[in-house]
Structure 1
Amino acid sequence: MQVPFVYGPGDLRLCDVAPPRPGPRDVVLRVAATGICGSDLGYVAAGGVAGPAAQPFPLGHELAGTVVEAGAEVCTVGVGDRVILNPLVNLVGNGGPEGGFGELLLVRDVAGQPGSLLPLPVALSFETGALVEPLAVGLHAVKRLGATPGDKVAVFGAGPIGLMALVALRHRGVDDVVVFDLSAFRRERALALGARAALDPRERPPAETLKALHGAVRVYSAEAPQTSHVLEASGAPLIPEIVAFARAGAVVCVASVQKKAVPVDFQRVLAKELTLTAAIGYPTELAEALELLEHGAVDLGPVVSHRFAGPDFLAAFATAQQPDHAAKVLVQYQDG
């Protein structure tokens, strides 16, 4: 079977890999659907998880599938079980030796790490199962942000994580969410998911837009938007600008990978008593995301923009690299 490997910066190759054989503590999944994550794009651009890797490694961690083999010591799942993967447990697709873009996936030491696989309810499709992981990222980011009903929120970035955070905010009853993104395609998705407004930050400075939409408040001798919470999910170097325009007492949460160091004016942070925080992964939110989807509490339909068959992975990846035309891109290896 073929699996994509990162060989260096911008160097992504499909490689022939032998079907996996599980040890007594391992499981083999027949992969049904895998999502292309923004981190996958970043890994390829950088040639590794945090810069060029010492050796090639495979991609793919947002996935659902069926157990087709289970080692003798595995008792938490069995052959035929439909499951989703928790890649934080074993680094599948995140620099480890296995990746989830392929027909079969070895999940190591499930016997010792039962939290690496969660049951996928029969009512949910494999496609929906592949969206649990990014939804969990969005849920965790919103928890770290701390916005509640009545708050005024700005989200920078309407890629998959920004959109998932928007879904989580709306589910928590936060109605006044303004989204900024350069892509008209993604702004339309944000509006479909319940954003109050979705705007191009190039057309008008975001601070002015937010003052017009959220109202203005005095901060010493200047005016600031009444925006109470700001989520940075774009990866652009916007943190200095956000700190500059934030109102007193605002919360700023960074949920994006910042590719370069940015200066932060801590005189402003101090003077305005800003709260700066960050969010990565989903320490406790994976099961929560699964439950929300099982009960139909959220609709992720607008998040998915493209679906490709497994043999067309390179075309799928090229599409995911075009923010003007894509949001979440899924690669499908079987129906269901």
Structure 2
Amino acid sequence: MKMPLVNVHGPDDVRIDQVDIPEPGDDDVLVKVSLCGICGSDLGYIRMGGLGGTQPMPLGHELVGTVAALGENVGSLSAGDRVVINPMANANAIGNGGPEGGFAPFLQVRGVARDPRALLKVPDTLPSEHAALVEPLSVALHGCHKGQAKQGDRVVVFGAGPIGLSAIVALRYLGVSDIVAVDLSEFRLSIARQLGATTIQAQTDLAAALMEHQGRTDLMGMSVPNTDLYLETTGAGPVFEQITSLAKTGARVVVLGLHKAPVSFDLVNLLMRELVVTGSMAYDNEFSDVISMLSRGDIDVSPLISHCLPLSKFTEALALAGDISTAAKVLIDCQQ
């Protein structure tokens, strides 16, 4: 039998192809995909024409579904279990250059018998819309862990896209209450406010605005914002440069945004401010923490989701996902 699968065939060439429904091997699991979110990296892969490995390259890595069939060596799951997928477990690279992708009605997850962390159960009480956010929330929580975010910190999140908004949720989960989000999009800033952040329009005098919201401190006779931690989620070089010129002595800076071009970094700023600059890529063991956080329901993550469209309207969904004035996280219903 055949099914639709979203593939990248070349730069700006994305298609819904008809492919065979996979049959799981002895160590594998076949997942019936409920929802899959469009990630900023998906938009980047489409522009680039894929990652140069599997051609065409399947897309989709932020997903929730139900176990449809299991290989005989898989003992950790049962048919009907609701699961989220760790796309990078077992080097599967699902939707990230590997041979499988989540924008399809069914997905083969290889090697689950060897590494059960490839699929994690989610409670029946957790809505699928929220479970589909586990992967991006894990990215954000990992960045917060790398930045050693803790209660009492004053934190600024640059960028209110899906990862920046997810970072606000992760910070609140870690007990941080003083959170400022900076973005150009008033639509996305409105979501940041719903999630519990104070917001600043990026075109304002940021130094003055941050000192108003988070206080000021002295740096060699200059007044600078008293911000403890900066999370850079935009991938824009000028934003990183601005952060390093604003930061106080000992401030922590975590880079979560994908920078596609070299960035100018004045090492004098690093030196005299004693900055701690850290990169954060994907996640380690944050999936379980995020599932627990969502299951408790202490933080309403519904504002993160702006649209849900059927797989048959994937092209329209892509256009929405790229419009910062009207969209946050766009989900795809892979059964329609």
Q: TM-score, normalised by structure 2?
A: 0.95
Q: How is 1:7-86 mapped onto 2 (pairs within 5 angstroms)?
A: 7-49=9-51, 55-86=55-86
Query: Over residues 174-195 of structure 1, what are the superposed CA-to-partner deviations in whole Å (9 max), with x where a residue is unaligned?
Result: 1211111111110000000000
Tell me which moved more, 304-313 or 211-220: 211-220
Asked if 1:157 is matched to 2:151, the reply is: no
Within the candidate set 185, 189, 192, 2:191 is matched to: 189
Cα offset, 1:221, TM superposition: 3.3
Q: What does residue 241 of structure 1 align with?
A: 242
Q: What does residue 229 of structure 2 align with?
A: 229
Aligned partners of 1:47 and 1:53 also within 8 Å: no
Q: What does residue 3 of structure 1 align with?
A: 5
CA distance in 2, matches of 1:148, 1:137: 17
Tell me which moved more, 213-222 or 102-111: 213-222
Query: Over residues 4-57 of structure 1, what are the superposed CA-to-partner deviations in whole Å (9 max), with x where a residue is unaligned?
Result: 1112222211111111111122111111111111111111122224xx557321
Q: Percent identity?
A: 44
CA distance in 1, matches of 2:269, 2:160: 27
Q: What does residue 271 of structure 1 align with?
A: 272
Asked if 1:311 is matched to 2:312, the reply is: yes
Query: Over residues 168-218 of structure 1, what are the superposed CA-to-partner deviations in whole Å (9 max), with x where a residue is unaligned?
Result: 11222212111111111100000000002x12211x132222122222222
Cα offset, 1:223, TM superposition: 2.1
Q: What does residue 254 of structure 2 align with?
A: 253
CA distance in 2, matches of 1:322, 1:53: 28
Aligned partners of 2:54 and 2:97 also within 8 Å: no
CA distance in 2, matches of 1:54, 1:136: 26
SS at match of 1:87: coil
Aligned partners of 1:28 and 1:106 also within 8 Å: yes
SS at match of 2:20: coil
Within the candidate set 104, 109, 112, 1:110 is matched to: 112
SS at match of 2:168: helix
Aligned partners of 1:74 and 1:110 also within 8 Å: yes
Moved over 4 A (4+): none
Aligned partners of 1:8 and 1:53 also within 8 Å: no
CA distance in 2, matches of 1:226, 1:27: 50
Aligned partners of 1:93 and 1:99 also within 8 Å: yes
Cα offset, 1:298, TM superposition: 2.2
Q: What does residue 143 of structure 1 align with?
A: 145
SS at match of 2:88: helix
Aligned partners of 2:173 and 2:293 also within 8 Å: no
CA distance in 2, matches of 1:150, 1:63: 33
Give the direction of change, closer, same or farther, for the CA distance of 1:181–1:102 in structure 2 (3 Å limit). Answer: same
SS at match of 2:64: strand
Structure 2: gaps of 5 or more residues = none
